[in-house]
């Protein structure tokens, strides 16, 4: 038997009793069937309904990404493309509920604005992006791998409504302009106990660069720092170029030998290419050229680039590389330092008047016009291109360093650190209604779009 519990104004409770006629006439009574559970305090009910979590928005976003989206996207690249539209919509509703907890937005807030404020991608967008990434990973496997055979096969479908990761991935590839070949996966990296080559890295030019430093200040600081490096050496200046950071990658290098002889190296980096990858391709092209032309093999090598991110990734060592390009660069460095040759990789500020950097930049822009059809695309670049298509942006959408510029109709970017802003008379924005407290509802005057006190809507 389940005992009957009656609640009047949430203050008077009768256990195992029926309401009298006089009580029914006094106030409306909400009747609940509940098991014997201890009464919750007002503070506990506030925590359960999400009105006060004691966490900042940034912390709530971390919890949602780790515990909700992490569980939702477990092996999602395989099963989510095959999910029915109704199941995808169910997942969308769950993610929107989580986004409302993160932001504190009321239910009247549009769904796309809530997701944009919370910094969470809709499930439908993740569905297409994950399918395209799985297809790219499968195409990057060795030729005899069973998963690659599945990715390259063309099995007819019995029903047009049946979808899968291969079909959704291929459709996304066509929309994003992704074409084979796909760069093979990284082979086995060097074991960590192998001695590293005699390579040194410099990610600064001595003193910290002020925020408002002029080009003249940067150039003079760079000249002073470079003067301390070996002058009787092979100097290499590398640079990468990519239109809007995502298209028509080009890699260029200027090589100056100790006797003053110069050579230029140009290489395409791919039609879909990030600025980081273009910089890495430039380093690989320059090192490969030095290995193929072993001139002045006893002199040290100084390589200058304006990409701190590329040098930071390479400085982790050969065993820490996660991309085939990083592994290839370290193999070239190992071959270049097989004897007693010293190699130093130095960062320099860009576009401040350094002659070598400016000439390498011009060479890289020329290389971006080379044929890009046979240049392999890596899995990460394919995933980013698919994500741009999933958000409704075409392959020519402008972006910076591979990160999309939010469109105007997608709402503001995610809120930064700090607590939620109060609304109205200093109260907190209401959180969504949760099943633990169905009696909670958003007050009409606190909904978004309500009229001000004067009754005139602001425009």
Residue 419, CA atoms < 13 Å, CB-side half-sphere: 10
- Kindly report the pTM of this predicted structure: 0.72
- Joined together, the tokens standing for residue 13 give 């409770």
Do residues 35 and 62 both lie within one domain? no
Do residues 51 and 169 both lie within one domain? yes
Neighbour-count burial of 285, counting CB atoms closer than 10 A to its CB (0-12 exposed, 13-18 middle, 19+ buried): buried
| Counted domains in the chain | 3
Query: Within a domain: residue 308?
Result: yes
Do residues 121 and 93 both lie within one domain? yes
The CATH number of the domain holding residue 292 is 3.30.420.10
CA–CA gap between residue 285 and residue 364 (Å, rounded): 11
Do residues 213 and 272 both lie within one domain? yes
Dihedral of CA atoms 19, 21, 23, 25 in degrees, nearest 10, equals 140
Boundaries of domain holding 32: 1-39
Do residues 297 and 416 both lie within one domain? no
Residue 137, CA atoms < 13 Å, CB-side half-sphere: 12
Do residues 216 and 355 both lie within one domain? yes
Neighbour-count burial of 365, counting CB atoms closer than 10 A to its CB (0-12 exposed, 13-18 middle, 19+ buried): middle
Do residues 365 and 418 both lie within one domain? no
- Joined together, the tokens standing for residue 42 give 């007002």
Do residues 67 and 168 both lie within one domain? yes
Structural domain ending residue among the three candidates 353, 375, 397: 375
Structural domain ending residue among the three candidates 352, 375, 398: 375
CB contact set of 25 (below 8 Å; sequence gap of 6+): none
Structural domain ending residue among the three candidates 375, 399, 426: 375
Do residues 107 and 149 both lie within one domain? yes
Query: Within a domain: residue 327?
Result: yes
- Joined together, the tokens standing for residue 385 give 């291109």
CA–CA gap between residue 176 and residue 248 (Å, rounded): 14
Residue-wise pLDDT tens for the chain (459 aa)? Answer: 444 444 444 444 444 444 444 444 444 444 444 444 456 665 665 555 555 566 778 888 888 888 888 888 899 999 999 999 999 999 999 999 999 888 888 888 898 888 988 888 999 999 999 999 999 999 999 988 999 999 999 877 777 777 899 999 999 999 999 999 999 988 777 777 777 788 999 999 987 888 888 999 999 999 999 999 999 999 999 999 999 999 999 999 999 999 999 999 999 999 999 999 999 999 999 999 999 998 898 899 999 999 999 999 999 998 889 889 999 999 999 999 987 889 999 999 999 999 999 999 999 999 999 999 899 999 999 999 999 999 876 544 443 333 334 444 444 445 444 444 433 333 444 444 333 333 333 333 333 333 334 443 333
Cβ proximity of 367 and 351 under 8 Å: no
Query: Within a domain: residue 189?
Result: no
Do residues 300 and 338 both lie within one domain? yes
Alpha helices in 160-214 (DSSP H): 165-176
């Amino acid at each position: 038997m389940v005992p009957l519990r009656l609640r009047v104004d949430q203050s008077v409770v009768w256990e195992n009793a029926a309401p009298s006629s006089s009580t029914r006439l006094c106030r409306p009574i909400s009747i609940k069937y509940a098991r014997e559970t201890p009464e919750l305090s007002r503070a506990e009910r506030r925590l359960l309904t999400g009105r006060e979590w004691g966490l900042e928005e940034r912390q709530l976003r971390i919890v949602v990404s780790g515990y909700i989206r992490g569980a939702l996207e477990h092996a999602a690249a395989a099963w989510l493309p095959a999910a029915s539209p109704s199941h995808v919509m169910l997942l969308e509703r769950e993610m929107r509920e989580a986004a409302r907890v993160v932001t504190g937005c009321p239910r009247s807030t549009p769904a796309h604005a809530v997701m944009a404020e919370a910094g969470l991608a809709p499930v439908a967008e993740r569905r297409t992006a994950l399918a395209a990434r799985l297809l790219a990973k499968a195409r990057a496997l060795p030729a005899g791998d069973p998963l690659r055979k599945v990715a390259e096969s063309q099995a007819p479908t019995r029903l047009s409504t049946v979808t899968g990761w291969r079909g959704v991935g291929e459709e996304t590839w066509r929309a994003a302009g992704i074409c084979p070949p796909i760069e093979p996966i990284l082979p086995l990296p060097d074991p960590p106990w192998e001695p590293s080559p005699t390579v040194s890295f410099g990610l600064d030019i001595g003193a910290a660069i002020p925020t408002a430093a002029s080009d003249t200040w940067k150039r003079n600081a760079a000249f002073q720092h470079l003067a301390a490096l070996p002058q009787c050496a092979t100097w290499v200046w590398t640079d990468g170029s990519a239109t809007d950071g995502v298209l028509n990658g080009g890699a260029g290098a200027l090589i100056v030998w100790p006797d003053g002889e110069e050579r230029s190296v140009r290489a395409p980096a791919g039609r879909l290419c990030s600025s980081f990858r273009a910089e890495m391709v430039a380093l690989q092209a320059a090192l490969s050229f030095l290995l193929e032309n072993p001139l002045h093999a006893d002199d040290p090598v100084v390589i200058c680039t304006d990409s701190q991110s590329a040098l930071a990734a390479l400085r982790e060592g050969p065993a820490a590389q996660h991309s085939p390009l990083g592994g290839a660069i370290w193999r070239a460095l190992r071959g270049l330092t097989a004897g007693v040759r010293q190699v130093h990789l130095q960062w320099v500020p860009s576009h401040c008047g350094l002659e070598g950097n400016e000439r390498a930049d011009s060479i890289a822009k020329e290389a971006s016009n080379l044929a890009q059809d046979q240049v392999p695309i890596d899995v990460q670049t394919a995933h980013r291109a698919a994500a741009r298509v999933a958000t409704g942006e075409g392959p020519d959408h402008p972006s910076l360093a591979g990160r999309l510029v939010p469109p105007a109709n997608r709402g503001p970017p995610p809120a930064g650190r700090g607590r939620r802003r109060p609304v109205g008379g200093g109260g907190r924005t209401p959180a969504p209604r949760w099943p633990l407290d169905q009696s909670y509802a958003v007050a009409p005057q606190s909904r978004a779009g309500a009229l001000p006190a004067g009754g005139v809507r602001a425009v």
